[in-house]
Amino acid sequence: MKALVYRGPGQKSWQEVPDPKIEHPTDAIVRLDTTTICGTDLHILKGDVPAVQPGRILGHEGVGTITETGPSVTGLQVGDRVIISCIKSCGHCANCRTGLFSHCLGDEGASGIGWVFGHLIDGTQAEYVRVPYAENSLHLLPAGVGDDQAVMLSDILPTGFEIGVQYGRVKPGDTVAVVGSGPVGLAAIATAGLCGAATVIALDLDENRLERAREFGATDTVATSAADWKEQVLALTDGGGVDVAIEAVGIPQTFEMALDLVRPGGNVANVGVHGKPVQLHLEDLWIRNINISMGLVNANTTPMLLRLVAQHKIPAEKFATHRFSFDQMMEAYDTFARAAETNALKVVITR
């Protein structure tokens, strides 16, 4: 088969590799029909994720068709159309039993790490992928949900909701600021209403992304290129600051922006993947009674989000802005990496 292979920082290739095989009784082989590229893949290519070794097939999002199952897989069968979760789950370890799938103790990839695709085992930017713990790591795709919608449930929608909205403790009537209107920030914007947010303020340098943010449910937008961006946000909160600030970029400056915007007693939810240290001024923050959260998605809300997407309660299809075939994988990467120029949100790559 062909796959997108990581060759070290700054290097990748679309090339022939061996087909995956069943290795454990709980495995399934899935033929990829649709995949996409995540900002985390770009972090890997920058060398920000040293656990990813040269030779690894990248990608952790996808929709496909089961072509083979291991002997212990009874709830799925060949021909089933499925969403591949970005997080593995053995389903029976201490962490999985509490819903902490991101730290699954199953020994696939590494014990205690739920994100394995394109990280510790071969991923989904390929024609076929081996899925461990298939019955817990795959979701049957219902009729009426298209690939453009379904692939957004592999990662960005549960990430934005769980790590941004849930970890941020959004409650009815809250004012929420989302710093960064890229795909994950937009996912937080699109799902903030599920917990009752009354006002959702989108912040970004890119005016095009701010326009898109309104399509996903932002009530207000603020361009961070403006000298008075902070004053604009505070004016929307009667000067008190937002109840929840969600950081969805992954650089020190945007994390500091989130801290600047939150009111005393509020919550800062860090969603962005950071490749550099961030200075935390506890000498100033301790007296403000704020909560700071962060984490890797558990993807335990995926079934709920899938039902909402199926009922058109979440506009998942709007994330898809560019389309490519598998043989255009390198072009897809170039388009996604130049999102500021191409206005790309999520590139959808189909067989």
Please report the domains of the chain, with CATH numbers, ordered by start residue.
2-155+299-350 (3.90.180.10), 159-294 (3.40.50.720)
Q: Which residues contact 280 (CB under 8 A, 6 or more apart)?
A: none
Secondary element (H or E) of residue 145: none
> From CA 165, how far away is CA 187, in angstroms rounded?
10
Query: Other CB atoms closer than 10 Å to residue 14's CB: what's the count?
Result: 18
Torsion over CA of 171, 176, 178 and 179, rounded to 10 degrees?
-130
Spatial neighbors of 339 by CB under 8 A, at least 6 apart, are: 182, 345
Whether the CB-CB separation of 321 and 347 falls below 8 Å is answered with yes
Contact criterion met (CB below 8 Å) for 203 and 179: yes
With cut-offs at 50, 70 and 90, classify the pLDDT of residue 93. Answer: very high
| pTM > 0.85: yes or no | yes
Neighbouring residues of 153: CB distance < 8 A, sequence distance ≥ 6 = 83, 139, 302, 305, 306, 309, 316
Are 292 and 309 contacting, i.e. CB atoms less than 8 angstroms apart? Answer: no
Residues 50-84 have pLDDT tens digits of 999 999 999 999 999 999 999 999 999 999 999 99
DSSP 53: P
> CB 53: neighbour CB atoms within 10 A?
10
Which residue is associated with the tokens 């902070």? Answer: 230
- What pLDDT is attached to residue 325? 98
- Are 176 and 244 contacting, i.e. CB atoms less than 8 angstroms apart? yes
Map tokens 């004016």 to a residue.
Answer: 235
Sign of the C-alpha dihedral, residues 251, 253, 259, 262?
Answer: negative
Per the CB < 8 A criterion, the answer to whether 53 and 5 are in contact is no
Question: What would the mean pLDDT of 217-230 be, rounded to a whole number?
Answer: 98
Label residue 32 by pLDDT band (50, 70, 90).
very high
How far apart CA 260 and CA 271 sit, in angstroms, is 17
Please say if the pLDDT value at position 48 is more than 90.
Answer: no
Q: Measure the CA–CA gap between 47 and 234, rounded to whole angstroms.
A: 37
For residue range 129-166, list pLDDT tens digits in order.
999 999 999 999 999 999 999 999 999 999 999 999 99
**CA 324, 326, 329, 331 torsion: positive or negative?**
negative
Report the C-alpha gap between 98 and 86 in whole angstroms. 18
Q: CA–CA separation, 132 vs 112, rounded Å? A: 15
- pLDDT for res 83: 98
Do the beta carbons of residue 152 and residue 259 sit within 8 Å?
Answer: no
Q: How many CB atoms lie within 10 A of CB 161?
A: 26
Q: What is the predicted pLDDT for the residue at 52?
A: 96
* 13-29 mean pLDDT: 98
Q: What percent of the chain has pLDDT above 90?
A: 97
Q: Would you report the helix, strand and coil content of the chain in percent, each value rounded to 5?
A: 30, 25, 45
Tens-place pLDDT, residues 245-293: 999 999 999 999 999 999 999 999 999 988 889 999 999 999 999 999 9
- For the chain, the first-to-last Cα distance in angstroms comes to 12
In sequence order, the β-bridge partners of residue 69 are 28
Tell me the residue type at 129: V
Check residue 58 and report its DSSP letter. P
